[in-house]
Amino acid sequence: MKSKLFYKILHVSFFTVLICTLNIRCAKTEDIVPINNTIDSTGTTDTIYYGFVLNEVLYDPPTDTIEGDANGDGNRDANDDEFVEFVNSSESSLDISGYKLFDSDRLAANTPNHQFPTNTVLSPGQAVVVFGGGTPNSSFGDALIFTSSNQVLNLNNSGDVLTVKNSNDSTIFIFDITPLSNNPNESYTRSPDLSGEFVQHGTVSANLFSPGTKADGSSF
């Protein structure tokens, strides 16, 4: 027997194809719907959205100068090397222009840590990575790469909440990283990618993070 999740995904896929065929707004924020909302084994309330998945987060860069250089600019920096990675898991292009990222402090002040610029469109299966700062210079697959438009992601090691809003200021999702806040000196990534629970990166790969790619370094 097919699950309710199967029929929900089928319904969303059919609706997306229909509106694209009619040349109506395609793959915008309003078309994204939650397909799973659970509390995983880490205690994290984890909502997976059809087409827009938070796949990896690094809030505690490794302390080693080389190993901690997540953005590849030659310097390990506790703020610059923080990153969040999202993936368009749908079969349609996804326009994330105007999406805003907030940590708890910036949400209270209504000042986003990052806002995606106009014409930021993710192809099907494409990732987007936002670093805290620096000058990213490495192999990040075919991901779109940004640094925080307000110079810092400011993800607190002792616990924080990441909020994403669309261009209409509607909240897309809220992700509480507090249950993951044990200062692991590596990222947390979904295992398997896109659909699994968050685990410490070193438990599924020899690397401590993999911005822009799957945990094993391959492309999405």
Residues 71-90 pLDDT 10s? 999 999 999 999 999 999 88
Residue 18 lies in a domain: no
Q: How many Å apart are CA 198 and CA 219, to the nearest integer?
A: 19
Residue 14 lies in a domain: no
Residue 128: CB partners within 8 Å, gap ≥ 6?
85, 86, 87, 88, 96, 116, 120, 122, 143, 144, 145, 146
Q: SS3 letters for the chain?
A: CCCHHHHHHHHHHHHHHHHHHCCCCCCCHHHCCEEEEEECCCCCEEEEECCEEEEEEECCCCCCCCCCCCCCCCCCCCCCCCEEEEECCCCCCEECCCCEEECHHHHHHCCCCEECCCCCEECCCCEEEEECCCCCCCCECECEEEECCCCCCCCCCCCCEEEEECCCCCEEEEEECHHHCCCCCCCEEEECCCCCEEEEHHHCCCCCCCCCCCCCCCCC
Residue 22 lies in a domain: no
CA distances 174 to 75, 159, 162, Å, are: 31, 13, 6
Counted domains in the chain: 1
* β-bridge pairing 53-58 and 188-191: antiparallel
The whole domain housing 130 covers 29-203
Section 8-37 average pLDDT: 35
Look up the pTM and report it: 0.79
Residue 219 lies in a domain: no
Split at pLDDT 50, 70, 90, the class of 17 is: very low
State yes or no: pLDDT of 109 exceeds 50.
yes
Residue 156 lies in a domain: yes
Measured in degrees and rounded to the nearest 5, phi and psi for residue 180 equal -95, 5
Residue 212 lies in a domain: no
Residue bearing the bigger pLDDT, 58 or 178: 58
Residue 173 lies in a domain: yes
- Max mean pLDDT among 12-26, 47-61, 116-130 falls in 116-130
* β-bridge pairing 45-49 and 34-39: antiparallel
Per-residue model confidence as pLDDT tens digits over 129-187: 999 999 999 989 999 999 999 888 988 887 788 999 989 898 888 888 877 777 789 99
Are 94 and 121 contacting, i.e. CB atoms less than 8 angstroms apart? yes
Q: What is the CATH number of the domain that holds 150?
A: 2.60.40.1260
State yes or no: pLDDT of 61 exceeds 50.
yes
Residue 94 lies in a domain: yes
